[in-house]
Amino acid sequence: MMLDMFSLKGRTAIVTGGSRGIGMMIARGFIEAGVDKVYITSRKAGQCDEAAAELGPKCVSLPQDLSTLDGIKSFVGRYLEHESKLDILVNNAGAAWGAAFDEFPESGWDKVLNLNLKSPFFLTQALHAALTKAGTHERPSKVINIASIDGIRLNPQETYSYHASKAGLIYLTRRMAARLIADNICVTAIAPGAFASEMNRVARDQGDEVAKRIPSRRIGRDEDMACAAIYLASQAGDYVVGETIAVDGGVALASPGGL
């Protein structure tokens, strides 16, 4: 059956930043698509535990700050206490920082680049053996990096480190994909547009106003993000390697600075 191509039955996933926003949309979608187990992580333990409880018995909370190599090592060690392999890794945890050019601080640069760009690389590196163990020529394992349309086109805000990190993540996706496909690991990315979340409070709090500037005339829904991730994570996306899919209602095609 064609619909079986989108099933995640028998697979195990990790979604970083999975306790809220886009990460939680993806984790919930994976569960509905039949994943055996999805492990979510976030820096705030209480929030991570609450999200796992809401998502049900197929979701496991492993809270961790992934912005440092020590944090990544700790998280991977704890994951491997539960599982011996990994089918799907979603690198979603991220941060943003906005400040005027003359006032932009080093802390705002380092925090964003560390979490948005360095962590996806080193977490994937640390889980390379587990991903390789799960992947085969006919059924590769998956790494999905969550970038942003801000990595494709400019927005009017002075988010220098965020723009740089997301543009870098898109090209990092291509570089990792070229190497890891040899180990039966498909690496791809999603570039979300306006979705209601803690990071995108404008879309969350002023959704109707934001929608007027989107060609599709609405902000993203939970199922828009979940379905894109399910496509890439499932057999349906096995032949997609190194690509970034914009899930943005057409914003990336519009004139720069529209959002």
Q: What is the pLDDT of residues 85-131, one digit of tens each?
A: 999 999 999 999 999 999 999 999 999 999 999 999 999 999 999 99
Catalytic residue among 39, 79, 162, 231: 162
pLDDT at 258: 44
Label residue 195 by pLDDT band (50, 70, 90): confident
Other CB atoms within a 10 A radius of the CB of residue 205 amount to: 10
Going from the N-terminus, what domains does the chain have, and what CATH number goes with each? 2-250 (3.40.50.720)
- The DSSP secondary-structure symbol of 118 reads I
Q: What is the pLDDT of residues 44-89, one digit of tens each?
A: 999 999 999 999 999 999 999 999 999 999 999 999 999 999 999 9
- Model pTM score: 0.94
In angstroms, the Cα distances linking 161 to 94, 108, 118, 199 are 12, 7, 13, 15
> 127 by DSSP, 3-state: which?
coil
Q: Is the dihedral of CA 98, 101, 105, 110 positive or negative?
A: positive
Label residue 206 by pLDDT band (50, 70, 90): low
Q: Does pLDDT of 162 surpass 50?
A: yes
Q: Does pLDDT of 254 surpass 80?
A: no
* Averaged pLDDT for residues 124-146: 98
Q: Tell me, yes or no, if 79 is annotated catalytic.
A: no
* Averaged pLDDT for residues 147-173: 94
- The DSSP secondary-structure symbol of 182 reads G
Q: Is the dihedral of CA 83, 129, 49, 15 positive or negative?
A: negative
